[in-house]
Chains A and B, each alone.
Chain A
Amino acid sequence: MNWRSLGDVLISGVTIGSVYYIIALGFTLVYGVGRVLNLAYGSFFVWGAYVCWALTAGFARLPVIVGGLIAVPLLFMLGVAVDRGVVNPLRKRPEFDFSVLLATLGLAMVLDNLALAIFGPRPKALPKFGEWRLELGGFVLSAQALIIIVFAGAFAVALALFLQRTRTGMSIRAVAQDPTGARIVGIRLNRVYALTFGLSVALAAAGGILLAQRFFITPLGGWSILVKALIIAVAGGMGSLKGTLVAAFALGMLEAFVGWQAGLLWVMPFWFGVLLAILLIRPHGLFGAAGRRV
């Protein structure tokens, strides 16, 4: 076994693991708070990358970090609008779970094909964050990998602080625990739902921009991300932040190793096998408790 390539694989695993963490976080957040299973999640991921591409390489020639910092708030607003326009009207229905599944599925079709119509089927490459690299005792840490890890970490920490320390964050957690109770103490549910949906879309978009450093952007690229986000969320225990963290890094590492040894096509079968194994032993995921949310 080649130790240098093993080091590369480890770095690669940590890099994708950190992005998977924020992606899965957005997915599990919106499910934990609003019981929304968002099948358009992968499409928002792709749109984040496309908006950033349009701002940098495509039309306006902004530096890529500025483009990203503009794209993420834009996608946040798109998320709020989608919640207000599509998801919220369904909330009163008795079969909300199922309706929202179908509505977001339709939305995913709309978003994907809109991207196809606007940006075309050719894969797009986002400009790199930087060309320099760090050499540490033979291991090479590229600028992209470092910046991906730093940004993903910053997002994760910012979200955790927001949820733990601010009043708005606390109201989000209150709604996750008990919507009726939260309403009694004067929290406006619709606002919290819209905010959470927007936050989740923003996390997906941030993940899309970060991963576009390593992969090309394609109109249908979001579906594998959706499946990965849900495998991570379920394997870690839906709504458990610690579980999501462990599952994201473990599965990111698995992906790097399987991709290295067997080829990228084997990644999904391996992920699925791990998921089945976890669920057979712990039906609510690694750190999930029965009936607990966020």
Chain B
Amino acid sequence: MIRRRAYVIAGCIVAIMAVLPLITGDDTYTMRLLLISMVWGGLALSWDLQLGYAGVFNLGQVGFFVCGAYASGMLTIYAGVSPWLGMVAGAAVGGLIAVALGMACLRLTGIYIALLTLAFFEVLGPLLTVGRPWGTGGKSGLLPIPPLSWGGQPFSVYDPLQWYYVALGLLIVSMIVVVVVVRSRIGRGFIALRDSESLAQALGVDRFRSSLAVVGISGALAGLLGAFYASYQGVLSPRLLGLDLFLFLIIAIIAGGVGKFPGAVIGAIAVTFVTDSLRPTGTYRLLILGVLVVVLVMFLPAGAMGGLDSATARIKRWRTRRARPPVVDVDLKEP
């Protein structure tokens, strides 16, 4: 379920992101930070579609992202495909791998899904490293991946403005896909399954097929974003599969609110800037982030969007209490 308020917030995020370059356009560093926060926002959103709405404990989302990135990178380098087509290919590969992995594990219960997808995530790095003879670039990475181009003119490496608006477009695409899926028959099926599993199944909601569809769609989104990332960075390495990005996205999702559109995007933008400001703390940065995760899970499990919900609920209660006429307390008992 998505409240009307959530659409307003999502619209505001897009609007703010669209006009921000007018203010920060000259500051390349901030622009790049904003840009990458939108990519992570889209990825976190696609992940949250599984974690928060479908209840699929997929821990391998970064793997789909990397698969899409490598597919597009290798196609553009070796086959000379246009990077725009590479993005389509990235989405296709991300979706296909997600569906294949989903077929293997989605019939199992939640925890097994978490284990298998985590194993997939952990195994992908070594595979890409040993895949050097097949053109994955090995440990040193895959490069140089050609940049996107418009009208025969490749995007500038030094000025991120063109990249920025493509990233914004991808963020909007991610948001639309998530909203459409949640509001579709599949999304309503998941709400029914959550409320009453047996009744929903008796009515013909198939958990396996719905989960597979959601995992496939969100894997394709991740692959699309990965392909964009590949072209933007120009270089890919298995280091993307390290814990940094994985934990970063998890924190973004928790901070924004699990299963609360568009919380994941807010979380991703906020966490991008928080981790950037923590840069001077060096080695302690991840330590601080870890403490943040534990504290958030223990004390603010619903995240920013959940906090907003309970705050407005509290204000509403307070208002109705004030609006009510004063209750005259009549003591019927005689002293």
Bound-state CA distance A263–B286 (Å) is 32
Chain B positions within 8 Å of A107 at CB level: 290, 294
- The main secondary structure of chain A at its interface with chain B is helix
Q: For the complex formed, measure the closest distance between the CB of A221 and the CB atoms of chain B, giving whole angstroms.
A: 12
Which residue in A103, A114, A223, A263 is a CB contact (below 8 Å) of B287?
A114
CB of A272 within 8 A of CB of B108, answer no
Bound-state CA distance A93–B118 (Å) is 24
CB of B127 within 8 A of CB of A269, answer yes
Bound-state CA distance A99–B298 (Å) is 8
Contact with B along A74-114 (1 / 0, CB 8 A): 00000000000010011001010111011101111111111
Bound-state CA distance A112–B250 (Å) is 17
Chain A positions within 8 Å of B247 at CB level: 105, 109
Q: For the complex formed, measure the closest distance between the CB of B119 and the CB atoms of chain A, giving whole angstroms.
A: 6
CB of B290 within 8 A of CB of A269, answer no
Q: With A106-B294, A272-B120 in contact, is A265–B104 under 8 Å at CB?
A: no
Which residue in B57, B119, B126, B258 is a CB contact (below 8 Å) of A265?
B126
CB of B130 within 8 A of CB of A266, answer yes
Chain A positions within 8 Å of B105 at CB level: 279
What range describes how many residues of B lie at the interface? 35 or more
Chain B positions within 8 Å of A276 at CB level: 104
Decide if A33 is an interface residue (CB 8 Å cutoff).
no
Q: With A268-B126, A269-B130, A272-B123 in contact, is A101–B114 under 8 Å at CB?
A: yes
CB of A106 within 8 A of CB of B287, answer no
Please report B residues at the A interface, Cβ cutoff 8 Å.
Answer: 51, 57, 104-105, 107-108, 110-112, 114-116, 118-120, 122-123, 126-127, 129-130, 243, 247, 250, 254, 258, 283-284, 286-287, 289-294, 296-298, 301
CB of A283 within 8 A of CB of B120, answer no
Considering the complex, give the chain B residue whose CB is closest to the CB of A270: B123
Decide if A231 is an interface residue (CB 8 Å cutoff).
yes
Q: For the complex formed, measure the closest distance between the CB of A242 and the CB atoms of chain B, giving whole angstroms.
A: 19
Chain A positions within 8 Å of B289 at CB level: 109
Chain B positions within 8 Å of A136 at CB level: none
CB of A113 within 8 A of CB of B286, answer yes
Which residue in A89, A111, A263, A268 is a CB contact (below 8 Å) of B298?
A89
Bound-state CA distance A279–B127 (Å) is 21
Could you pull out 21 A-B pairs where Cβ atoms are within 8 angstroms? Answer: A98-B57, A103-B293, A105-B250, A106-B290, A106-B292, A106-B294, A107-B294, A110-B287, A110-B291, A110-B294, A112-B286, A113-B284, A113-B286, A113-B287, A114-B287, A117-B287, A230-B119, A234-B115, A271-B123, A272-B120, A272-B123
Q: With A97-B110, A109-B289, A109-B290 in contact, is A230–B115 under 8 Å at CB?
A: yes
Q: For the complex formed, measure the closest distance between the CB of A278 and the CB atoms of chain B, giving whole angstroms.
A: 11
Q: With A110-B290, A269-B127, A283-B108 in contact, is A275–B116 under 8 Å at CB?
A: yes
Bound-state CA distance A107–B297 (Å) is 11
Decide if A160 is an interface residue (CB 8 Å cutoff).
no
Decide if A280 is an interface residue (CB 8 Å cutoff).
yes
Chain B positions within 8 Å of A89 at CB level: 298
Q: For the complex formed, measure the closest distance between the CB of A203 and the CB atoms of chain B, giving whole angstroms.
A: 18
Considering the complex, give the chain A residue whose CB is closest to the CB of B55: A98
